[in-house]
Structure 1
Amino acid sequence: MTGENQTPEATGQVADAVKDNWVDRLAPSAARPYLRLSRADRPIGTWLLLLPCWWGLLLSMIHDGQMSWHDLWIFVGCGIGAFLMRGAGCTWNDITDRHIDGSVARTASRPIPSGQVSVKQALAWLVAQALIAFCILITFNWASIALGVLSLLPVAVYPFAKRFTWWPQVFLGIAFNWGALLAWTAHSGKLELPAVILYLAGISWTLFYDTIYAHQDAEDDALIGVKSTARLFGEQSPAWLLRFLILAVILQVFAVIMAVVGASPIALLLALCGSWAFGWHMHWQLQRFDPNDDDVLLRLFRSNRDAGLIPLPFFAIALFV
């Protein structure tokens, strides 16, 4: 059987992985199930975890009007930590959801339900990723270390949220945007109000993009009794997405104003342009939203990497103005 004719089940590939991703092409065969467990073949989650970290770091630097070589390490450390903790979180999610995943077409090919990795092997992999991430965390200040340890609570709770609430995306947002708090504090040594507002903006953004994502599984989720905002909103999803868009932009604007107000007017204008462009991209997504087209839904969800990247050059330039 040629590689072109093999099914995802035969090759171990995950159904919704990025086509021709580096894991399937380059990773050693023994490592592939573990990397797939960590979603290394689907990097969008790492980006969505990382980008609020970089928002928080840059705005904290603008707020203080200071930068150091350690900030470069915070920038790099957040990148490595996001990859590791996203992997650990996804591993934990797949352990807790292994019975549900086997009943959903999009997730049945994941390593645990497909039999590529046992639960014990997955637990060992989870611990290994978390320990390496902790080694990075302890190079930061004590306040950010405490925040990093505290972040384990929402990470642990999130996989169970869809069993008891129609709003599991809120729990995902709480976990995925924690980096805005942590990176701000890693630079400044203290948690301040602009970081909290930025964190809330990130949660609103998560409600936006993960509601889009959840529409892919709405029918399967209804059959097995799993809750989501996609199921809750139904045909009203576009109206709710617009609300989340507006809230995310307003909150980010407030965070920017509070963080940058002490800098020059040009710096403030630049940073606000970044937030406006962020909102424009979300509006672009909303105009193309089609709850009945899974390909469109996945493409829009993945495009949020670009949405989250858009403010960064504006923030970075504002730092030097």
Structure 2
Amino acid sequence: MKKLASLTLILAASAAALNAQAQDKVLNLYSARHYQTDEAMYDNFTKTTGIKINRVDADDAGIVARLRAEGAASPADVILLVDAARMASADSQGLFQPFKSAKLDAAIPANLRADATKDGVTWTGFSTRARVIVYDPLRVKAADVATYEQLADPKLKGLVCTRSGSHPYNLSLFATVVERLGDAKGEAWLKGVVDNMARAPKGGDTDQVKAVASGECGVALTNTYYLARLIKSDKPDERSAMEKVRVVFPNQGTTGTHVNIAGAAMAKHAKNHDNAIVFMEFLASPFAQDYFANGNNEFPAVKGLKVANPAITAMGGDNFKAEQIPLGVVAKNMTKVQQMLDRVGYK
């Protein structure tokens, strides 16, 4: 009986160890990325590490709402969101926890991460996209849209189109401009952009490009990966739209073009802490960075890494000067900038 009891204890202990080991091979991922090309990347991660990914997909707002509703019971380990504005908003709600990784510190530039503390960072970028200007060469000269500041120049009156000023893509850009110009000049610049609008803000980035191509607008803002999609599109009308517009990477002679991120964070109540670190470090691997560049037409976030993409080359994005203002600092301007938008009537 004693031997049987001992054997039972040994088997129970072994079963518990195996169960713990199985649990150790799991990562619960909440993702706001909806790109099919990411699927192969996740599969490669599991094959390489043996860590199974359980994924929840939703838009950024849906991910944040779910985390808040689940609270301490949330199974989430890693959160993927798009744009520093969204990362900062979720961070301010206490949904992330700081983490440390020497590999990520070495790979990702400090300006593409949250401000570091003694406990680490709460989020990090793993891919980037540039916010550029597109214009109609029949109505606008390249020299007149060489900088973001020129979008407020009266010579562009009735020509500028954008999506909502409150959209995170614009909020992040505007926050960098305010950071550079200061509050008073930054708000005056926003007022100047409003005064130059061809119509009220509406639609998404692709809609802005098409509006310039159709003649409704003369100048617009867009993220680079939207342009790459149009260049590579199998739809003749979308390729035709790109043939009618020109692209400017703004502020090349001064502060550089604004870049933003797709980012990752460790969930506040992550249970699989080590696996979360392994996954985020994987996102900075050459394999994953190539997927971001050629799968979704993003730019690598890793220092010095260049990945060839014909569509990026076609728009002149192989080698541009990027703005170096830390996105962690910029994120702190979001509320202030939103108040400015309200005051100047930027819808």
**TM-score normalised by structure 2 residue count:** 0.26
Say which structure, 1 or 2, has more relative contact order (CA 8 Å, 6+ apart).
Answer: 2
Question: Which structure is higher in helix share?
Answer: 1
Question: Which structure is higher in strand share?
Answer: 2
**Which structure would you say has the larger Rg?**
2
**TM-score normalised by structure 1 residue count:** 0.27
